[in-house]
């Protein structure tokens, strides 16, 4: 199935959404939407948590300074506002419908 088929007619909206929903982790769309977080798997998150817990246990303290922690992308200490795609405003449903149906 090709994305080209969506614009030529044989691929429906439902099929396109299904295709997008089942894209593999770390694909170009995932990277564009989630940035560095797309590279982190569940295993990476668990490993970072284990290392942080081990460091905390060895230190004997109640809390470690943020500089000694491994922070996955998207955590409270690394969260940054997402930039809008290419600096353009995001389109709403009406604008997308007009774009794809040739109206307005």
Q: Does the pTM exceed 0.95?
A: no
Higher pLDDT, 95 or 47: 47
Backbone phi and psi for residue 55, each to the nearest 5 degrees, phi listed first = -60, -40
Answer yes or no: is pLDDT of 78 > 70: no
Cα angle at 74 between 61 and 24, to 5 degrees?
130
Average pLDDT for residues 7-30, to the nearest whole number?
81
Domain ranges in the chain are: 1-35, 40-79
The widest CA-to-CA distance across the chain, in whole angstroms, is 65
What is the per-residue pLDDT for 52?
A: 92
């Amino acid at each position: 199935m090709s994305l080209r088929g969506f614009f030529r007619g044989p691929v429906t909206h439902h099929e396109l959404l299904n295709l997008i929903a089942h894209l593999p982790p770390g694909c170009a769309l995932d990277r564009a939407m989630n940035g560095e977080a797309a590279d982190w798997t569940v295993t990476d998150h668990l490993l970072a948590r284990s290392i942080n817990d081990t460091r905390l246990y060895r230190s004997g303290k109640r809390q470690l300074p943020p500089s000694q922690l491994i922070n996955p992308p998207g955590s409270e200490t690394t969260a940054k506002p997402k930039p809008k795609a290419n600096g353009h405003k995001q389109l709403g449903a009406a604008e997308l419908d007009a774009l794809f149906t040739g109206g307005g």
